[in-house]
Chains A and B, each alone.
Chain A
Amino acid sequence: MSDAGSAAISIRGARKVYPTRMGLSERVAVDDVTFDVAPGTIHGLLGPNGAGKTTTLKMLLGLARPTAGDFRVLGASSRTPGGRARLGFLPEQPYFPPQLTGDQAMRLYARLSNVPASEITSRIAELLEAVGLSGRGDSRLSAYSRGMLQRLGVAQALLGRPEVVVLDEPASGLDPVGQRDMRNLMMSLRAAGTTVLLSSHQLSEVEAICDRVTILNRGAVAAEGRIEDLLNVRGRTSVRVKGAAGGLPPAVVALTDDVALSGDTAVFSVPDASVRAAVDALDDAGVAIVSVAPKRESLEDYFTALLGRSDSSKEVSS
Chain B
Amino acid sequence: MIRRVSAIAGAVFLDAVKRRVVYLVLFFGVVMAVAIPALPSYGAGVQSAVYREMALALTFAAALALTLGLSANRIPGEIERRTIYAVLSKPVGRWEYMAGTWLGIFGVVGVCILGFAVVDVAVGWLVYKEVMFQLFEGAYAIWLEMGVLAAFATAISGVAGAVVVTTAGLTFLFAGHSRGSLFPPGSTGLAKMLYPSLDAFDVVNPVAHGSGFGPVYAAVMTATFLGWVGVLLLAGSAAFARRDM
Contact = CB atoms under 8 A, between A and B. Distances in A.
B108 to A, nearest CB: 14
Contact of B83 (A61, A85, A87, A97): A97
A54 B85 CA distance: 12
Interface string B87-99: 1111111001000
Given A85-B91, A111-B3, A99 B83 contact: no
B10 A84 contact: no
Interface in B9-41: 10-11, 14-15, 18-19
Interface size band for B: 20 to 34
B192 interface: no
Nearest to B82: A95
Nearest to B244: A64
B3 A153 contact: no
Q: Is the interface of A mostly helix, strand, loop or mixed?
A: loop
Contact of A109 (B10, B86, B93, B244): B86
Interface in A49-100: 58, 61-65, 81-85, 87, 89, 91, 93-97, 99-100
Given A99-B15, A100-B14, A112-B4, A63 B85 contact: yes
A82 B19 contact: no
B244 A58 contact: yes
A82 B86 contact: no
B245 A113 contact: no
Contacts of B10: 108
B68 to A, nearest CB: 21
Contacts of B3: 111, 114
B87 A112 contact: yes
B90 A112 contact: yes
Contact of B90 (A97, A100, A109): A109
Contacts of B15: 97, 99-100
A81 B93 contact: yes
B191 to A, nearest CB: 34
A104 B3 CA distance: 16
B7 interface: yes
B129 interface: no
A214 interface: no
Nearest to B17: A99
Interface size band for A: 20 to 34
A93 B83 CA distance: 10
Interface string A98-135: 01100010001101111000000000000000000000
B14 A112 contact: no
B87 A58 contact: no
B7 A82 contact: no
A95 B242 CA distance: 23
A156 interface: yes
B11 A108 contact: yes
A112 B82 contact: no
Given A81-B93, A104-B14, A156 B245 contact: no
Most-contacted residue by chain A among B83, B87, B89 (CB, 10 A)? B89
Nearest to A89: B89
Contacts of A100: 11, 14-15, 18
Given A95-B85, A111-B3, A58 B90 contact: no
Contacts of B244: 58, 63-65
A95 B81 contact: yes
22 contacts: A58-B244, A63-B245, A64-B245, A65-B244, A83-B91, A84-B90, A84-B91, A85-B91, A94-B86, A96-B83, A96-B86, A99-B15, A104-B14, A108-B8, A109-B90, A111-B7, A112-B8, A112-B92, A113-B91, A114-B3, A153-B86, A160-B90
Interface of B: 3-4, 7-8, 10-11, 14-15, 18-19, 81-83, 85-93, 96, 242, 244-245
Interface of A: 58, 61-65, 81-85, 87, 89, 91, 93-97, 99-100, 104, 108-109, 111-114, 153, 156, 160
Given A64-B245, A89-B89, 14 more contacts: A65-B242, A81-B91, A84-B90, A85-B91, A89-B85, A91-B86, A100-B18, A104-B14, A111-B3, A112-B4, A112-B87, A112-B90, A113-B91, A156-B86
Instruction: Report the 7 A-B pairs with minimum CB-CB distance, sorted nearest first.
Output: A111-B7, A89-B89, A63-B245, A99-B18, A64-B244, A91-B85, A85-B91
